Every structure is written in structure tokens, then in C-alpha cells.
Structure 1
Amino acid sequence: MSEIEATTSNAESTSQDCEKEFLEPEAKRRKTTAPTDAKKYKLEERLGGILCCTVCLDLPKAAVYQCSNGHLMCAGCFTHLLADASFRDETSTCPTCRIEICKSTAIRNLAVENAVSELPTECQFCNEQFPRNSLDRHEEEECEERVSGCKFHRIGCPWRGPFHEKTNHEQECGHPNKSGTDVMKALQELDQKMVEERKLYKAIFELLGYAKITFNDIQLKPYRNDDCVNRLTYESSRFSVLGHQWLVRAKVTDNQNEATKTVERNITYQLVLKSIISTTLSLSYIVLCGPVGDIKVHPRVYRFDFTEHENETPYESFPLLDSAECNRLLAAKMINFRLVMFLTSK
């Protein structure tokens, strides 16, 4: 090799070494690149773990409260912590740091509420992810996979399916061509449902005229009995209303042995009076969707006379829309609803 070629080769090698010396480290270059979808969702999952309630470990659906040390609690768990402490005649404390909490010291954390509302969650129909604050509108109005009914359902068409198939079905639906007798039969069934709804509303309006009305936001927690592995039971904490102590029990499907063999499940519940009474206590009660849970119900009014020897109502059907709603509740860690009670003794 000539002297000139050796000098050129050494110069090129020196130049490459200088370029390598001033190149950014590989780790730094990775940080400046756009994040992948996997990393993005990993961050969202981490945020979900940070912003969840310290009691039920779920992301809050409504108000978020915090103790003076900043530990978060959803509205339902916060209310139950205060109720349990009141029932035991104890001071309510934060389950994480054990500092005292009460309605005057705990504050709303609006930043966390807004952050949670922006976190993505999955649509139950199309499995796409949307911010929590827009999910309801998407599932009710925009999702092409949402469950829809035929426009001829008033004359008896039972079809229900994805929204994007609705137009094709209605073009082929045979119900518009049915005889007048068949149409009248379907309309009579519809009229009967409307009569039942009017009776329900009339009963509720009459109950609203009673002097003693109260409501309580109930949280049912699951547990399994020792006598049967498949026997899933729910029970609430005790709560005090109308001068007495109460609790709510619930169970899945009347035949517990068949509960794991069918998707057609239902939940039944009973109201239990824990206080001792000497006179008859006539009570009407109704289950509604509360501000914490998102349970979908078709309300029904039940009435029972509590006596010294009869302190438990019979198990009544939880007023869910269908079996799918029942399965959705069973998949949740807890069942939240509002129980309205009317003391009907005048």
C-alpha cells in the first residue's frame, strides 16, 4: 500500500470514529422515537392501576374522594366506609394509611375524575376502545354493532341484532304483510305492557305521598358458603334507616346446582330486618340505578309486613332487563344499586 493510500485510509477511519463518538446513544434514540401502540396501552394500564379505588381496586365511575394523604376512594366505597364505622361506633379511617376520614375532611379529586374519564375502555359490542366519557354515546348512538330492534316490533316482530343489519332485515321483514288479526294480537300485547307500566308509575306516585321515605345506596359483596362450592351469595353491610337496622342478601339462580350449566341466570334478593320490633312494620321497597353503579333495571315495587317473627322478605327477582345484564353484574366485583324504602303504615 502506498503512503498516500495509507494516509487516506487512516483519515477515513478517524472520521468514522469521530462520527460514532458524537452519535446519540441507542437508548436515547429509542426515547425520541414515536411510542408504539403497545407502549401506549401499557402506560394507560399503569395509569388505571394508579387511579383506581384503594378499596375495590376498580376505576371510579363517578365521584372520587381522597384522604388528607391523597389515597383515592370511589364514592360507593367511601360511603360504605363511613356507614360501617358509624354502625360499629368507631372512627372511620383510610384503609391505606389509617388516617381519620369523614365528610368534612375528605375532598373530591376533580383531576383524577377527569383523568379517569379520558382513559380508554372497551365497547361491549364492537370491542373497540374509546374514552370513558364518550363510551355511553358510542354504545347508544354510534356503534354499528350495537343491539337494535326492528321498526316493526310494535306489530310483533321479535328480531334483534346488530345495527348494521337492521336495514336489510326491515326490507325483508314479513310482519308488514301479516293479516289484520295477527297485527291486532301484537298490538293487544303491547297495550297490556303499557297498562302494567301505568300501574307501576301510579303505585310509585302514591308511595311518594307517604310521610316516611328513605333511600340507601347499597353495595353487595360476593362470598361463597362453606356448604356448597357453587353457591354464590351476596350480602350488604348493615345500614340504619327508619330507626332500624337492615341488610340485603342476594343469590344467583334459584337452583344453585344448575347455575354453572346455563347462561339463563337471574338474581334474587331479600330485605332483612335486623332490629327487634314489637309491632307490625308495613314497608314497600323498590330497586333503582344509583349514582355509583350502572345497573340497568326495570323497577318493580314489593311490599312486606315485618313482624316480631317475620323479619325477612321472600326472595324476589332482581329487576334486571335480561340474562345478559345478569351476567355482566356477576362479572363485576360488586353490585351497586339504590334501594328506596317507603314506610306505608299511616
Structure 2
Amino acid sequence: MELSESSEEEDAEDACPSKSSSGGGCGNICECTDERCCLCRLFDKGDYDDIGNVPFFGVIPTDVEGSPFLDATIRQEFHCNRCGTIPVGRIYQCHKGHLICEGCHQVQVLDKMLFQALGTCPKCSARMYRHAPNRNIIAERILSEMKMTCEYCGAKMVRAALRSHFHSECQGRLVSCKYKRIGCPWYGPASEIAAHDETCEFPGKTGAELMEYLRPIQAERDARLQILAKIEDTLLRSQLTVRLLHVLPQGPIRKFPHNEFVLVNEFRTHFMKWSLLIMWQSPAADDDHPQPMGSLHFRLKIERPENSSSSLVFTYALVHGSHSEVAFLPNLCDRIEFSSNQLLGPPVMIYRHTMSHCKKLLIDRGIYARLLITRHDSRLPL
């Protein structure tokens, strides 16, 4: 369980990690051109490719002959001292040389719930400063130049090329049919796409037949656009606060159960204590696809003060953080009323992929997220 809260001013500023006068993909909300910016990736005109939206994860480093590139003892020194993963981006360190990944560094220097540990190394408590980060360029280069073996297709490459390989080259990666936009539900390994194209029936369908498939696709797209428009309005509200939340990798020892909500984070906002719960939902019983889709859902729980009797109304959305390796589904819980009889918010889906990818994200990588939350005055009409 991770306790996390950052100040509204600092967290709102850091929602966009870099600014650019050249403009970006978020219109008036954000001018950032950095692909890591959670706002840039949120306002994507409603498109969401759940197949291409894969978590980046490490595979065993090997040399060209397939032997371990570094022994286990040395490799352990490259793990982040906070989340335990091998960093995939910038690497920071305290003045004693202990490494911390970029996402955890952000949490460590912004998380007000750390109290005395704020701005300190999670291993030795040495000071780390937000405005004077100490990068370890040598560690970044060593990790980026490690020889890796793709666990899907067996191709060997340097670690820096692995992300691009997963997204566009690997024959074992999941891809959708090129006729997905007009209704074809097929997805599978890239090595099988050519065979599917030869038998796909959608190019031969009539316009009337295609309309039966296009109506629900358009309805889903319209619904996502409406949610994104509401979230954009939420970002402009004066009562908005932004909480930076981190679900640490659950690890092989701590088994994460299926189909039940688990408390993964506690934080404070609007002068109240909250809990973030995550559920890893297994595929539907009638899903007979060779690689059925699982999903991750969240809900919030509020711990009301004992002397509070009035209802509390909030609007909130959980969006991917600056260092998230995946993009969340658009979601918004609009004007949810909490009371002494209703402490839990509604369950909401935030991610959908195969069970193996959900496992890698939740167990191996963890999740960086931001909670956008606004409180409504109960005296005002809803």
C-alpha cells in the first residue's frame, strides 16, 4: 500500500512535464509537445487502441549468445530503490549513488504524505531536490545499451530499441485487423495478420451490412468524446485539485486476486482521507478468444469525519500520470454523492488488455496516475 499526496500548486504545475510555445495536442488545455504528458495523451479525439496500448516491461538481459549480460548481483544495483523495477527512462540518484527511476523521483520529491521522508532517498534518507535533480547518465547509458531478447519473437536488440520493436516490428505483438474501424473484431499476433486479411469478410460486406457494425462503434466513440469534453471542463474549474497516485508493483510474493477490489493507495484531499481500490477483472465466461481480454477497474472510498452528517458531492476522473506506460480509458464520475451510508464511489474501467498484459502492468510495473477531483457545494442545485 502506498500513501500519496502532493500539493495542488506543485502537482498541477507538474501535470505537464515540459512546456513548448510551438503548441501541442491539447488545444488550450496544454501546449506540451512531450509524449509523456498525461494531458496530451488524454485528449486524443476519442481514439483508443487497446491492442497497441501495451505496458513496457523488461526482459532478461542477454548477450548475443543468449547468456546473461550481467550477473544477478550486479543487475540488482540497477533497480529503482523505491519501486524495485529496472528504469526505462531517466534515472536519478541521491548523493550516495542510490538509483531511483524518474516516476518514483517525482513522487518522492512531491508527495506531501511522506512528511519527513519528503525529498529524501528511500534507501538512505539523503536529501534529493526537485529543482536540482541529480541524474545518473552512466546508468542510463548502460541500461539503454544492454542486449535484450524479445520474449515474444526472440529477436535480439539493445534495450533502447525495445519499445519501438514492441509497437511496430515484433511479429508476436498483438494487432487488430485493418478493417477494425468498420467492425472486424479480429485481433492476434502480427505473424497471423496476413492470413487473416485473406479470409476477412468485411471488405465484401454491403453498405447496409456495415451499418449494423458502424452504429455501435460510432456510439462508443461519441460517448468517449463526451467524457473527454466533460473532463476538459473539469480541468477549468476553480475547485479542482490534482492528486498524484502511485500503485507500486505488486510483485510475485503479493498475489493480486481477480474480480475483487483491493486497497492499493491511501491519500488525502479536500481535508479528508480517501482510499484508491483497484480490481483486476478476468474475461467474460463466454469469451472464447485464444487471448481473451481482461480489465482493470478503480473506485474511490471516502473516510468521513465522525462529526460530518451532510452529504458530500464530488466529480472526479482518474487519468494516466506523466510517467505512465499506458493510457487509461476516458472516465468520469460526475457528481457522485458520498454519505454515511454510501462511502464507495462507482466502479469504473480504466484499462483493457489481455490477462498477461494486465498482469505485467499490475504485478511487474505498477501504475502512475493522477486523480482530478472537484468538490461541489451541497447548498447549490445539482
**Which of these residues, 326, 332, 335, is aligned with residue 295 of structure 1?**
326
Looking at structure 1, the residues matched to 257 and 236 of structure 2 have their Cα atoms a distance apart, in angstroms, of 45
CA contact (8 A) 1:283 1:343 kept: yes
**Map of 1:335 onto structure 2:** 367
Alpha-carbon distance between aligned partners in 2 of 1:176 and 1:45, rounded to the nearest angstrom: 52
Tell me the percent identity. Answer: 22
CA distance 1:95–1:254, shift in 2 (3 Å): same
Which deviates more from structure 2 when the two are superposed, residues 272-281 or residues 54-63?
272-281
For residue 144 of structure 2, the aligned residue among 117, 125, 133 is 117
Once the two structures are superposed, the pairs formed by residues 163-182 of structure 1 within 5 Å of their partners are 163-182=190-209
Q: What corresponds to 1:64 in structure 2?
A: 91
- Amino acid across the alignment from 1:141: S
In structure 2, do the counterparts of structure 1 residues 115 and 306 end up closer, same or farther at CA, with 3 Å as the change threshold?
farther
> CA offsets per residue over residues 129-150 of structure 1, 9 Å max, x none?
4333222221222223322222
1:87 to 92, 103, 113: 113
Structure having the larger proportion of residues in helix: 1
Q: Per-residue CA shift, 1:219-251, capped at 9, x if unaligned?
A: 224499xxx998986434433434444331223
Amino acid corresponding to residue 247 of structure 2 in structure 1? L
Residue of structure 1 equivalent to 2:123: 96
Does the CA contact (< 8 Å) of 1:263 and 1:323 recur in 2?
A: yes
Q: Which residue of 1 aligns with 2:229?
A: 202
CA RMSD of aligned residues (A): 3.7
- The structure with the largest alpha-carbon Rg is 1
* TM-aligned CA distance change 1:114 to 1:215, over 3 Å: farther
TM-score (norm 1): 0.71
Query: SS of the counterpart of 1:48?
Result: helix
**How many Å separate the matches in 1 of 2:257 and 2:220?**
40
The amino acid that maps onto 1:71 is: H
Name the CA shift for 1:279/1:330 in 2 (closer, same or farther; >3 Å). same
Match of 1:314 among 342, 345, 356: 345
Partner of 1:235: 263
Where do 5+ consecutive residues of structure 1 fail to align?
1-34, 256-261
Where do residues 128-139 of structure 1 align in structure 2 (5 Å cutoff)? 128-139=155-166
Distance 1:280 1:234 in 2: 25
Q: RCO greater where, 1 or 2, for CA within 8 Å and sep 6 or more?
A: 2
Provide the C-alpha distance between the structure 2 equivalents of 1:66 and 1:275, rounded to a whole number of angstroms: 39
Q: Deviation at 1:82?
A: 5.0
Matched-pair contact (CA < 8 Å) for 2:262–2:279: yes
Amino acid at match of 2:325: D
Taking the aligned partners of 1:214 and 1:51, their CA distance within structure 2 comes to 35
Does 2:84 match 1:53? Answer: no
User: In the alignment, does 2:279 pair up with 1:251?
Assistant: yes
Aligned equivalent of 2:215: 188
* Partner secondary structure for residue 235 of structure 1: strand
- Choose the corresponding residue for 1:211, options 238, 241, 244: 238
1:241–1:336: structure 2 CA closer, same or farther, 3 Å change rule? same
Q: Does 1:272 align with 2:298?
A: no
> CA separation of 1:126/1:175 partners in 2, compared to 1, >3 Å: closer, same or farther?
same
CA distance 1:138–1:304, change in 2 (3 Å):
same
Residues 286 and 62 of structure 1, relative CA distance in 2, 3 Å threshold:
farther
Tell me: CA distance 1:105–1:190, structure 2 relative to 1, closer, same or farther (3 Å): closer
Equivalent pairs, count: 302
Distance 1:190 1:151 in 2: 15
CA distance in 1, matches of 2:260, 2:105: 25
